Amino acid sequence: MTGPIQEPGGGQARGDWNTAPTVLEMRDVHAAYHGDILILNGLSMAIKEGQVTGIIGPNGAGKSTALKTMYGFLTPSRGTIVLGGEDITGSPPYDMMGHGVAFVPQNRSLFNDLSVEDNLRLGCWPFRRDKRKVEAALDRVYTQFPILKEKWRDMAGSLSGGQQRFVELGRALVVKPKIIMLDEPTAMIAPRISREIYDFIGTLPEQGITVVLVDQNVRQCTNVSDYIYILDLGRNRGEGTTERFTHDDHLKEMVAEWLDYQID
Ligand SMILES: Nc1ncnc2c1ncn2[C@@H]1O[C@H](COP(=O)(O)OP(=O)(O)OP(=O)(O)O)[C@@H](O)[C@H]1O
Ligand SMILES: [Mg+2]
Mean pLDDT of the chain: 91
Q: Whose CA is nearest to atom 13 of ligand 1?
A: 60
Q: Is the minimum distance from the CB of 221 to ligand 1 under 6 angstroms?
A: no
Distance from the CA of 65 to the center of ligand 1, in angstroms? Answer: 6
Q: Whose CA is nearest to atom 6 of ligand 1?
A: 33
Range 61-89 average pLDDT: 96
pLDDT in tens, 197-211: 999 999 999 999 999
> Which pairing describes strands 86-87 and 101-104: parallel, antiparallel, or unpaired?
unpaired
Compute CA distances 221 → 54, 101, 143, 186, 249, whole Å. 6, 21, 25, 11, 18
Question: With bands split at pLDDT 50, 70 and 90, how would you rate the model's confidence at 7?
Answer: very low
Q: Is the minimum distance from the CB of 63 to ligand 1 under 6 angstroms?
A: yes
Quote the pLDDT of residue 37: 87
pLDDT in tens, 154-203: 999 999 999 999 999 999 999 999 999 999 999 999 999 999 999 999 99
Domain 22-259 has CATH 1.10.10.10: no
Q: What is the pTM of this model?
A: 0.92
Q: Is the minimum distance from the CB of 39 to ligand 1 under 6 angstroms?
A: yes
Of all atoms in ligand 1, which is nearest to the CA of residue 234? Answer: 14
